[in-house]
Amino acid sequence: MLDTGIKVLFEGNNITRLLDGLWVTTRIALISVILSVFFGTIIGIGWSSRFRIIHVFARFYLEIMRIMPILVLLFLFYFGLTRIAHINLNAEMASIIVFTLWGTAEMSDLVRGALTSLPKHQKESGLALGLKSFDIYFYILVPQAIRRLLPATINLTTRIIKSTSLVVLIGVVELLKVGQQIIETASLLRNQTAAFWVYAVIFLLYFIICYPISQLSFHLEKKWQS
Amino acid sequence: MHPTDEIILSLDKINKSYDDRIVLHEISLDVKKGEVVVVIGPSGCGKSTLLRCINGLEPIQNGRIRLNDQTITDVGTDWTKVRQHIGMVFQSYDLFPHMTVIENILLGPIKAQKRSKKEVEAQAELLLERVGLLDRKTAYPRQLSGGQKQRVAIIRALCMNPDIMLFDEVTASLDPEMVREVLDVMLQLAKSGMTMIIVTHEMAFAKAVADRVLFMDNGYIVESGKPEEFFNAPQTQRAKKFLNQFKFSENREDEA
Amino acid sequence: MTLFLSVSNQMDLINEGTILIGMDYLFFAKYAPLYYEGALLALNIAAISVILSIMVGLCCACIHYYKVPLLKPSVSIYIELSRNTPLLVQLFFLYFGLPKMGIRFESESCAIIALTFLGGSYMSEAFRSGLESIGKLQLESGLSIGLNKIQLMRYVVLPQAFAIALPAIGANIIFLIKETSMLSVVALEDPMFVAKDLIGMNSDTKEALLLLVVTYIVMILPLSLILTFIEKKVRHAGYGH
């Protein structure tokens, strides 16, 4: 029983199909992370400024994104945009929009946190040295902020990667979907235990991707903690 | 009150090391009931470690410590019991932040010693009143000043009715203006006949409170004697050098 | 939600009038009870999972804290596995994978096991950071007044660790409730299941989605507000010195 089940993984091009599925997942995650870091940084910098209106808007936006489960957001955007607004949009695009909106919210909070947590005397000692505020920003504040930000940003990346597994539920053909397809074919061929092995492999694939990233985040955080 | 002849604590050739660094060399010391022993010496000389070993917070490699005729360094010593006879006050005010002053004081006597709440509370109130903190009984540690916290910490240890009190640089992290109020409490305590070992950097206080001064350096007891003898005429070069550091003005004149 | 409304709003003006006027109000009356029951089911499962997660988390944190031999490495492996894989994949494996090897769970047990597997590691991290924030000095002063190890844990360490971990525990509870939105994949009729069903069945997509959003706001917003309050309180109370 054990060897017939596990055989499914090595039949035909099943391994390549799974890896293709994995690539769809990581592609969505990568694009979303890059966009999130970009927009999140802009909003975060605005948020740490003095403009009250940005505070209110950013907090409201963040709260909405934190209250709604990602899956609900995926449904809202995919079905909302295609069925109600009749915008022609594929599920992968909808996923990228949702992960970007969510990632941007989280990222902006991280950026704001990093900027506002910098001690005031850092800025003051910069001024005391006669530096211009531009120099203070780029030589003193930004490098310190990045040290605080990078571990958390990497951590956010693993959260986004893990969440991309949800896109199967709005019909994106990614890792889990490919897995399902392989299991279906296998069960036609009376391979009963295929599901166990395929889902175990998918479980491990996610682990293999996320584990090194979260270790990196952990070590950076430890290293820069002072 | 003068020390009696009864020996309450006895250290016999204590050796202690961290990895290959030796912190205490063959330390022997007898403390009599009612005696106040002040330990001074440069930082890292082993004086704090000495107190921590007596209280079982640090294991020793060999040697023997006896408290009230019980050898407490034997394997299988019930440190929980032993520590109920030893009061210890640390450098940082180490009150439990989630408890009020009175809860901090009552925890040990009620939970560890299983004494009645009524009895301990009466004792605690008496002691709090004596150090002028009765009105802060229900305050949380964060609402107290450093000096107040340290006085509460002393009372917390006292309420266990210990046979001996250990003070580990209790004024070292206090603001200068608060040092006095804590030292006064300790002086009062010494006068009442409490057996004490005090590690401190306050030389004037040491002179005033001590029955005996120990000077430690590099893990050795270098000198031991009556305070007036030690401070006025130290026997060793190392002790002289150490005491000189506390005389800024004279030093400067020497150098000039 | 506002974003969604404002985006779709403009389109709707062209297509079928404003979004609110175009709604089928009878739909709400008819289907709101389904969402209500779905929410109850989800909250029920979340509550059980939260309690189990806290128990698992506390055990793991204590094993880690006391450096229990053999158990500590196993706990570390569990935490890494749980934190670095998605809940959805865990659910698929439990619900579709394991039965093929003869290990079968009911939908609800499956959901509770998966949520506890996930939540346990998150709670463990929360407790762990709480425990680790209690300084050595607190332990030593507890010992020096003659407390034994259990009393030290009970009266000195745990109350402080718990207060410090409270915001993280709250955040984990909200996280677990949000994660229940995946339970429809193991055939549980949670609000997501109801919405999916209605969207597939008829064309009242926007009503179905609106009810879905409202349901989750009602489920999570109050908790989120309480959490914000607790966070502020803990910060201002200034535990520690």
Distance CA(B53)–CA(B173), nearest Å, equals 22
Quote the number of domains for chain A. Answer: 1
Judged by average pLDDT, the poorest of A45-59, A142-156, A162-176 is: A45-59
Distance CA(C89)–CA(A195), nearest Å, equals 12
> Looking at chain A, how many residues does it have?
226
| CB-CB contact of B169 with B199 (8 Å) | yes
Distance CA(A221)–CA(A152), nearest Å, equals 8
Q: Over pLDDT 90: what percentage of chain B?
A: 35
Q: Which long-range contacts (CB under 8 A, 24 or more apart) does A212-220 make?
A: A213/A154, A213/A157, A213/A158, A213/A161, A214/A154, A214/A155, A214/A158, A214/C80, A214/C83, A214/C84, A216/A154, A217/A151, A217/A152, A217/A154, A217/A155, A217/A158, A218/A151, A220/A150, A220/A151, A220/A154
Are A195 and C100 inside 8 Å of each other by CB?
yes
Are B157 and C145 inside 8 Å of each other by CB?
yes
**Cα four-point dihedral sign C119, C240, B54, B165:** negative
pLDDT in tens, C99-123: 888 888 888 999 999 999 999 999 9
The pLDDT value given to residue C55: 96
Q: Which chain C positions have a beta carbon within 8 Å of A197's beta carbon?
A: 97
Q: Is C61's pLDDT higher than 50?
A: yes
CATH superfamily of C24-236: MetI-like (1.10.3720.10)
Q: How confident is the model at residue C4 (pLDDT cuts 50, 70, 90)?
A: very low
ipTM of the complex: 0.85
Distance CA(C183)–CA(C113), nearest Å, equals 12
CA distances from residue C213 to B67, B150, C238 in whole angstroms, order as listed = 70, 55, 37
pLDDT in tens, B2-27: 667 788 898 888 888 888 888 888 88
| CB-CB contact of B41 with B239 (8 Å) | no
Q: How confident is the model at residue A37 (pLDDT cuts 50, 70, 90)?
A: very high
CATH at A122: 1.10.3720.10
Secondary structure, 3-state, C116-181:
HHHHHHHHHHHHHHHHHCCCHHHHHHHHHCCCCHHHHHHHHHHHHHHHHHHHHHHHHHHHHHHHHH
**Block residue for tokens 């004279």:** B250
pLDDT in tens, B96-147: 999 999 999 999 999 888 999 999 999 999 999 988 899 999 999 999 998 9
| CB-CB contact of C194 with C34 (8 Å) | yes
- Nearest CB among C84, C180, C220 relative to A67 is that of C220
Q: What is the CA radius of gyration of chain A?
A: 22
Are A71 and C182 inside 8 Å of each other by CB?
yes
Q: Is C144's pLDDT higher than 60?
A: yes
Other Cβ atoms less than 10 A from the Cβ of C102: the count is 9
Average of per-residue pLDDT across A138-160: 86
Are A75 and C1 inside 8 Å of each other by CB?
no
Are C147 and B92 inside 8 Å of each other by CB?
no
**Confidence (pTM):** 0.81
Q: Supply the range of the domain harboring residue A151.
A: 2-225
Average of per-residue pLDDT across A64-70: 91
* Chains with at least 3 CB pairs less than 8 angstroms from chain C: A, B
Q: Which chain C positions have a beta carbon within 8 Å of B79's beta carbon?
A: 143
DSSP result, B61-93: SEEEEEETTEETTSTT--HHHHHTTEEEE-SS-
Average of per-residue pLDDT across B29-36: 91
| CB-CB contact of C219 with C43 (8 Å) | yes
Q: How confident is the model at residue C29 (pLDDT cuts 50, 70, 90)?
A: confident
DSSP state of C103: -
Among chain C residues, CA nearest to B143: C241
The pLDDT value given to residue C208: 86
A84 to chain C, any CB pair closer than 8 A? The answer is yes
Q: Which chain C positions have a beta carbon within 8 Å of B80's beta carbon?
A: 146-148
Q: Which residues of C touch B (CB under 8 A)?
A: 137-138, 140-148, 151, 155-156, 159-160, 163, 238-241
Are A67 and C224 inside 8 Å of each other by CB?
yes
Q: How confident is the model at residue C20 (pLDDT cuts 50, 70, 90)?
A: low
Q: How confident is the model at residue C3 (pLDDT cuts 50, 70, 90)?
A: very low
Average of per-residue pLDDT across B67-71: 84
Are A207 and C84 inside 8 Å of each other by CB?
yes
Q: Is pLDDT larger for residue B46 or for residue A3?
A: B46
Distance CA(A81)–CA(C205), nearest Å, equals 11
Average of per-residue pLDDT across C222-231: 87
| CB-CB contact of A33 with A103 (8 Å) | yes
Judged by average pLDDT, the poorest of A78-82, A204-208, B191-195 is: A78-82
The pLDDT value given to residue A205: 93
CA geometry: angle B146, B150, B156, nearest 5 deg? 145
The pLDDT value given to residue A127: 74
Q: Which chain C positions have a beta carbon within 8 Å of A196's beta carbon?
A: 93, 97-98, 100-101
Are A202 and C92 inside 8 Å of each other by CB?
yes
Q: Is pLDDT larger for residue A88 or for residue A72?
A: A72
Q: How far is B110 from chain C (nearest CA, A)?
A: 10
Q: Is B183's pLDDT higher than 50?
A: yes
- Nearest CB among A71, A87, A193 relative to C181 is that of A71
Do A and C share at least 3 CB pairs under 8 Å? yes
Distance CA(B131)–CA(B155), nearest Å, equals 9
Q: Over pLDDT 70: what percentage of chain B?
A: 95
CA geometry: angle C117, A206, A220, nearest 5 deg? 90
Are C86 and A68 inside 8 Å of each other by CB?
no
